[in-house]
Amino acid sequence: MANLQFDLVSPERRLASLEASAVQIPGADGDLTAMADHAPTITTLRPGVLSVTHSGGVDDYIVIGGFAEITQTGVSVLAERALPKAEVTQEMYDGLMAEAKEAHATAQEIFKNEPGPVDDAAKLISDMVAIGGHIGLTASN
């Protein structure tokens, strides 16, 4: 089966650049898996787990914010924050959780009568919880 070129970059560094057979992307509208000859697509990301299947196994990354560009021959993921799953510690996760909750609290304060931003922030929290469930860390209250 044909492979595709996978690149994962964050503003601070290039995390991965390899040949992959399939890339599972947490798109804003739902997960999607890109394989070779996928229709060219650009999708924004929700915070979630990106998993890359390549000849050496499967790599998981936590990605937050940004977008993915899928072409027929490759996938470039530009994440505002990206971390290999193994590097995420409970502490870091707690920090991210706290950030999400803070965003939710400020959104509630500023946009009292507008549901949009508050819902977005609430969704951010649930996304974070979902990440925690996936990588085996628990969200502390």
Partner 1 sequence: MPNLKDLKNRIASVKSTRKITKAMQLVAAAKLRRAQDAAEASRPYTERFNAVMAGLASGAAGSPSAPKLLSGTGSDNVHLLVVMTAERGLCGGFNGNIAKLAKTHAAKLLAAGKTVKIVTVGKKGRDAMKRDLGDHFVGHVDLTEVKRVGYVDAQNIAKDVLARFDGGEFDVATIFFARFENVVTQHPTALQVIPAQFEADESAEAPLYDYEPSEEEILADLLPRGVATQIFAALLENAASEQGARMSAMDNATRNAGEMIDDLTIVYNRSRQAVITNELIEIISGAEAL
- Amino acid, res. 28: A
DSSP E strands, the chain: 4-9, 14-20, 22-27, 30-35, 41-44, 48-54, 57-70, 74-84
Q: If DSSP states are collapsed to H, E and C, what string results for 68-109? A: EEECCCEEEEEEEEEEEHHHCCHHHHHHHHHHHHHHHHHHHH
39 binds partner 1 (CB under 8 A): yes
24 binds partner 1 (CB under 8 A): no
91 binds partner 1 (CB under 8 A): no
92 binds partner 1 (CB under 8 A): no
User: Shortest gap between Cβ of 141 and partner 1 (angstroms)?
Assistant: 25
Could you tell me whether strands 74-84 and 4-9 are parallel, antiparallel, or unpaired per DSSP bridges? parallel
Which part of the chain contacts partner 1 (CB under 8 A), choosing from 68-76, 87-95, 100-108, 129-137?
68-76
Identify the residue among 2, 33, 37, 42 touching partner 1 (CB under 8 A): 42
Binding site for partner 1 (CB under 8 A): 7, 9-14, 27-29, 32, 39-44, 65-67, 69, 71-72, 76, 78, 80-81
